[in-house]
Amino acid sequence: MNKYFLMAAFIWMMQCIIQMVTGTVLPYYCKYIFFDDSLFSYLLLLEVVTTIVTTVLFCPFLLRKFGKRNMSMLGCALALIGHLIYCTHPTDFNWVVFSCFIRGVGFAPLNSVIFGFLGDCVEYGQYKFHIRTEGLIFSGGSIGYKLGTGMCGAFITWLMSMSGYVASTTANAV
Q: Does some domain include residue 33? A: yes
Question: How many domains is the chain partitioned into structurally?
Answer: 1
Q: Does some domain include residue 8? A: no
Q: Does some domain include residue 37? A: yes
pLDDT of residue 143: 77
With both helix axes pointing from N to C terminus, report the angle between 59-88 and 93-129 in degrees, rounded to the nearest 10: 130
Q: Does some domain include residue 15? A: no
Residue 134, class by beta-carbon neighbours within 10 Å (0-12 exposed, 13-18 middle, 19+ buried)?
middle
Q: Does some domain include residue 90? A: yes
pLDDT tens digits for range 72-110: 889 888 988 988 988 898 889 999 999 999 999 999 998
Q: Does some domain include residue 168? A: no
Q: Residue ranges of the chain with pLDDT lower than 70?
A: 167-174
- Domain of residue 61 covers 24-162
pLDDT of residue 145: 76
Report which DSSP code applies to 130.
Answer: S
Q: Does some domain include residue 18? A: no
